[in-house]
Amino acid sequence: MKLFITGICGFVGSSFANWFHEHRPSFKISGIDDFARPGSEINRSHLRSRGITVQHADIRNASDFESLPAVDWVIDAAANPSVLSKGDYQKKSSEATEG
């Protein structure tokens, strides 16, 4: 089973990645993150050390999806790193992962 997680280096995304790594070892886990938050780099190193593929990409840019692998499941954990952030991030995130 191939699992893909958007926002994989955030709190929620990395928690999902770690859970699936521990409880579903047969899953091939990969994901993207835009590294908008400084702590994302720490999670990136940890995930990579577990054999999880992490790529830099922005869910708001359609061109960033061109080189991504085919997968069986997507978990959309991409989000603004702060409630004070402005923009239409949620709308773009849901548009990018639908269909």
Taking only the tens place, the pLDDT of each residue in 59-68 is 888 898 888 8
Taking only the tens place, the pLDDT of each residue in 39-56 is 888 999 999 999 999 999
| CATH superfamily, with its number, for domain 2-97 | NAD(P)-binding Rossmann-like Domain (3.40.50.720)
The pLDDT-based confidence of 93 (bands split at 50, 70, 90) is low
Q: What pLDDT shows up at residue 67?
A: 83
Residue 69, φ and ψ in degrees, nearest 5: -75, 160
Instruction: Kindly state the helix (H) or strand (E) to which residue 14 belongs, with its residue range.
Output: helix 11-23
Q: Give the start-to-end residue ranges of the domains of the chain.
A: 2-97
CA 99 – CA 97 distance, rounded (Å): 7
